Every structure is written in C-alpha cells, then in structure tokens.
Amino acid sequence: MKHDVIVVGGGFAGLAAATYVARARRTVCVIDAGQPRNRFAEASHGFLGHDGSDPRAILSAARGQLEAYPAASVIEGEVREAGRGEGGFSVSLASGETLEARKMVLAFGLRDILPELPGLRERWGKTVLHCPYCHGIEFSDRPLGVLYRVPMSVHQASLIAEWGPTTLYLNGAELDKESAKALAGRGVAVEPARIAALEGEGLALSALRLEDGRRSTVEALYIAPQSCLSSPLAEQLGAAIDEGPLGPVIRTDADRMTTIPGLYAAGDIARAPHSVSWAVADGVTAGTSAHRALVFG
C-alpha cells in the first residue's frame, strides 16, 4: 500500500504531523504501537487548553479527529524494519504487512531506563518525576528530592528548589566543591548516603530509607533518567544519531528533516528538553515540511 507519508508513532508528535499532512489532502498512515512515553502519568500539565488532562484522553481525541480526514488512516501495530528505495521508504510490520511512502516521519518516542531502587519504578509518573514544569506545582512547598545520576543533576536540584525545600541525594556519589557551593547558594541540602528504598502508602512517597537506617522525608523525587530510542528504525535507515546528555538524539535540521532526505523525526527522539507542547510543535514542523517536500521536492 503506497502513501504520501508514513508516520511511525501515534503519540503527540506523530498525530500532530499526520494531522497537518491530512489537512493538506495528502495520504498519510500512522503506525502506532500504543506505548506513549507519558502513559505512566495521570495528568499532563502545561499543554495549552488541556492543563491537568489525562494524556491518554488527549491522544484518543486527537486520533479520532485525525481519522475523520479521508486521507488519513491509523494502524495499530509495530514496525519491525524500514528501508529506502528510489520511490521513498518502506516499512515491514510485525503482522507481516508492508507499506510504502514517499516521505516518512519518525515519532516513536523514547524509553526511559530507570534506576534500580526498590519502590521507584511503580511510582514513576506519580511521585517519582522528571520535569518540574510538568509536575512541580502539584508538590509546591513540600519536601522535594533529586536523585543524583549525572553531573547535570546538580543543575536539576538547583532549579527544583524554586518549588520547595530540596535535597540532593548523592546515593554514594561524590560532589565537587564548586557544585557544593552552587547548591548551598540555592539552599539545597545534600545527603551523601546510599538509598535503600522508597517508602510510602500506595504510590505516595513519604520517605527515602537510607542504607544506614535513617529515613529522609520526601514527597516527590525527581530524576533525570537515561533514555534510549524505542525503535531501531533511525539506525536502520542510516540517519545520524548524536549522543545527548541523557541519551541518543536523532539529528535534524530546522525543518525536522534528518540527515536522510525525505526522512523526518519529531518529538523526544529529536530534541532536548521534552514536553507535550514541544512534541506537538515539532510534529507540526515535520508534517508541514514533509508536505512541502512532496510539492516542491
């Protein structure tokens, strides 16, 4: 089946890209594996007009609106392989189906690699968080923590102190004098001991139990997790991938085109930092850029 554009990923970036292609009256097919990165969060914050909404509800409404366009279709499935040819791109699905398109948008998202601490994984997106702009105000003036993972965690702790009393948990790591001075200037406490577990009733967080037996009160813990691309398609297609501070980033230009002509990337896989608003904006850029390439390229 031949399309003008194939979009791999039905999250915020992918649906935004596909919507603009469909509104340009070009055939577009979204292939969605149904694993959006923010599926662990109950509410999305800061997205204009949808502050506090369930991200799954936003995506469901957006998908329904997209499918109302005659030129658009959505396939629930996983792309296993992708290739390039003279006419554009082809993808092979896990179902065995093969699709072709003149242009392609990668929007399959990232997968977060979380630290292996008892009680952390189940609280991810609830009381273990990554972005204070997305979730910070909901925990205003409560005891907050930042788990040290990389040197950038010092910057993260200094920023999060805007929302409440903050402690940087080194978890056995060492801190240089310059970083310690910067944290002290922001009023951030430093706890050097290793963490044994996260504690709290249900998915709430009340304390970190330290390996020396002490308990440190904290109601939200921020981390900057390592991330990886959730699909090998960019590598399969030969697109350049750079190593960012928290994981790989597909290299794109201002039009969100990768180093492969006709191949675009949008959302968390092609930028840092991340948010729903940025993902939608990048999806719009990729979708309109792909359409202009169909017209003029």
Residue 129 pLDDT: 95
pTM: 0.93
User: Are residues 104 and 8 part of one domain?
Assistant: yes
**Residues 126 and 142 occupy one common structural domain:** yes
**166, 189, 222: which is the final residue of a domain?**
222
| Mean pLDDT by groups of 10 residues along the chain of 297 residues | 94 98 98 86 89 93 97 96 94 96 97 95 95 93 96 95 98 96 97 98 97 97 94 97 93 98 97 93 98 95
Beta-carbon contacts of 133 under 8 Å, excluding residues fewer than 6 positions away, are 45, 46, 275
Locus of tokens 């900057």: 224
pLDDT at 215: 97
Based on the fold, state whether residues 69 and 213 are members of the same structural domain.
Answer: no
64 and 151 belong to one structural domain:
no
Residues 87, 231 share a domain: yes
Nearest to 278 by CA among 266, 291, 263, 264: 266
Read off the DSSP letter of residue 121.
G
- The reply to whether 218 and 232 lie within a common domain is no
Percentage helix, strand, coil for the chain under 3-state DSSP, each rounded to 5: 30, 30, 40
Same domain, 185 and 248: no
The single-letter DSSP state of residue 4 is E
Which of these three, 174, 199, 222, is where a domain ends? 222
Helix 276-296 crosses helix 12-23 at what angle (to 10 degrees)?
A: 30
DSSP state of 255: T
Which CATH number do you get for residue 143? 3.50.50.60
> Do the Cβ atoms of 258 and 265 come closer than 8 Å?
yes
Model pLDDT, residue 40: 79
Of 164, 193, 222, which closes a domain?
A: 222
154 lies in the same domain as 95 = no
Q: What per-residue confidence (pLDDT) applies to 38?
A: 77
Q: How does strand 79-85 pair with strand 88-93?
A: antiparallel
For residues 203 and 264, membership in a common domain is answered with no
Domain limits at 162?
115-222
Q: Based on the fold, state whether residues 211 and 78 are members of the same structural domain.
A: no
What is the helix (H) or strand (E) element at residue 166, kind and residue range?
strand 166-169
Q: Specify the 3-state DSSP secondary structure of 68.
A: coil
In this structure, are 66 and 120 located in the same domain? no
Q: Structurally, how many domains does the chain consist of?
A: 2
State whether 208 and 283 are in the same domain. no
The pLDDT of residue 1: 66
